Amino acid sequence: MTAPAVIHHLQFASLPNGMRLHYASAGEQGKPLILFVHGFPEFWYAWERQLAEFGQTHFAVAPDLRGFNLSGKPSDVENYRPRHVAEDLVQLTGALGYTRCVIVAHDWGGAVCWNLAMQHPEIVEKLVIVNAPHPYLFARALTADPAQQAASGYMNWLRKPGSEQALAANDFALLEKMLGGHEGTRPAWFTDAVRARYHAAWSTPGDNDSHALTGSVNYYRATPMRPPTDSEPAADLSRFNPARFDPNCAVVKVPTLVIWGEQDRALPKTLVDGLGDFVPDLRVERIPEGTHWVIHEQPERVNLLIRSTLP
């Protein structure tokens, strides 16, 4: 079977909440929907190999999240809280003509989709998470684990004014370093052609002449998840307090596959420990040699694991 073309030029969805999302797709609309949700500092193209594969059996869609690439980039930091981004995905699902879908998400996309699955389980047929911790486990680690606090120290740097200018300096040298291997070397998957695509996405102007990277960095500015500093407290666990909220508020009630590259420097494999307490229908697949960028390093393996969860 020949893989379908990935169509991405000028595909936009105007959502009821006023957000305009750009997306790429493969396959025929009307087949079951599978939604691929990228993280930082990526865009829809992170899922090119998955779109080509799953477009053969599904309507495979990968949006640019708000703040990234060609999607709308609201200026207010508050607009980047996970609940707003999750609502974009709910509305995008409806705009595409669906009421349910399979969701595959990585990094910040995973953080958003953990929340989506908790808040809107009715639209999530199955959830696949790649290297993105459950919000309670991550918040707990940021509060109590010095190793996690050190590994996540970059989050506080990204929250500072001017971080987007620093990321863009010297032809995006710092952003490229984030995608690098253990020694900061350029990874094999980040070819010249891929690099050109990423540079173009990182250069797309923001709304109201804001910096191209401001929207993506605003995810870090908006989140309560952060290591403590002398002037700011650690991550806020109050939303999970049973005295104030439904004690099941952190439970994901949909079938879930978690794929974890265990060489992730910022999100260590210990973040998967205890996940079964929050996800009753859970399967975990660990990739010992995989890094945070395992979807690029081992796309065929990741595709097989995703495929194994589908009917």
Catalytic residues: 107, 220, 292
How many angstroms separate the CA atoms of 293 and 286, rounded?
13
Q: State the Cα–Cα distance between residues 258 and 256, nearest whole angstrom.
A: 6
Cβ pair 14, 71 in contact under 8 A: no
Q: Would you tell me how many other CB atoms lie within 10 Å of the CB of residue 211?
A: 17
CB 202 within 8 A of CB 91: no
Residue 97, classified by CB atoms within 10 Å of its CB into exposed (0-12), middle (13-18) or buried (19+), is exposed
Provide the b/e sequence for 136-173 (b: ≥16 CB within 10 Å): bbbbbbbbebeebbebbebbbebbeeebbebbbeeebe
Q: Coil, strand or helix: which one is 22?
A: strand
Q: Within 10 Å of residue 52's Cβ, how many Cβ atoms? A: 19
